[in-house]
Amino acid sequence: MEFLVDRTDGDTLFRLVLGLVVPRPIGWVSTVSREGVYNLAPFSFFNAVNDEPPVFMISVGDRDDGSLKDTVRNILDTEEFVINLVSEDLFRNMLITAEEFPPEVDEFKKAGLTPEPAKLVKAPRIKEAKAAFECKLFKHEKVYDMHLILGEAKLIRVEEGVADREGRIDYEKLRPVGRLMGSYYLRVLPDRLLKV
């Protein structure tokens, strides 16, 4: 089957793109507004684009009414953010933060999470998250309707025991969650890893 993009409707393209590019990691982005309100939201258009220095991307759409999502507005205003990682134990909390709350609502409170001051940026990190990247805005670019946001990490925080001193990750401890299409997610189970 072939889908000529110019002749394919948006819903079908959406299902194809998100259904085929799997599993996607989830960047759980914390920001702070100019008024000092904390915000939290998950993004599965998330990946690493450079390692030295570490640079990450997220891609964020606008709201249905055309306004900016709080994450984008806060990042453009403050030029700082934290990307936290989602582990299995925080899966339900993450889902709560995907709801569209108004800008004055603190999503840490809504999701029962603890904001912890970051070391190098004003945005807080999620205390309960097993890993977090403290980022400064590197670039903001529009890609059609999406906001491509690149962040350069200045500090990588990993919970004690999850990484060794040389940066090797223990997946049994990290227990990352990945996203498939729609409401499907997956666990990265160490006993199912393909090892060569």
Q: What's the token pair of residue 166?
A: 């040389």
For residues 54 and 132, what is the distance between their CA atoms, to the nearest angstrom?
A: 12
For residues 32 and 106, what is the distance between their CA atoms, to the nearest angstrom?
A: 9
Taking alpha carbons only, the member of 79, 78, 97 closest to residue 27 is: 97
Q: Does 113 bind ligand FMN (CB under 6 A)?
A: no
Q: Does 90 bind ligand FMN (CB under 6 A)?
A: no
Q: What is the DSSP letter of 89?
A: G
Q: Does 100 bind ligand FMN (CB under 6 A)?
A: yes
Residue whose structure tokens are 């200045």: 154
- Report in angstroms how near the CB of residue 83 gets to ligand FMN at its nearest: 12
- Cβ nearer to ligand FMN, comparing 68 with 169: 68
- Cβ nearer to ligand FMN, comparing 21 with 98: 98
- Cβ nearer to ligand FMN, comparing 4 with 20: 20
To the nearest 5 percent, what fractions of the chain are helix, strand and coil?
20, 35, 40
Cis before 190? omega within 30: no
Applying CB under 6 A, among 30, 32, 39, 163 the residue interacting with ligand FMN is 39
8 A C-beta contact, residue 133 and residue 124 = no
- Report in angstroms how near the CB of residue 101 gets to ligand FMN at its nearest: 7
Q: Does 60 bind ligand FMN (CB under 6 A)?
A: yes
Applying CB under 6 A, among 26, 90, 132, 174 the residue interacting with ligand FMN is 26
Number of residues interacting with ligand FMN: please give it, by CB under 6 A. 18
Residue type, 59: S
- Report in angstroms how near the CB of residue 42 gets to ligand FMN at its nearest: 4
For residues 115 and 97, what is the distance between their CA atoms, to the nearest angstrom?
A: 13
For residues 81 and 69, what is the distance between their CA atoms, to the nearest angstrom?
A: 14
Q: Does 125 bind ligand FMN (CB under 6 A)?
A: no
Applying CB under 6 A, among 37, 48, 54, 61 the residue interacting with ligand FMN is 61
- Cβ nearer to ligand FMN, comparing 2 with 64: 64
> Which residues of the chain form contacts with ligand FMN (CB under 6 A)?
26, 39, 41-45, 59-61, 69-71, 95, 98-100, 179
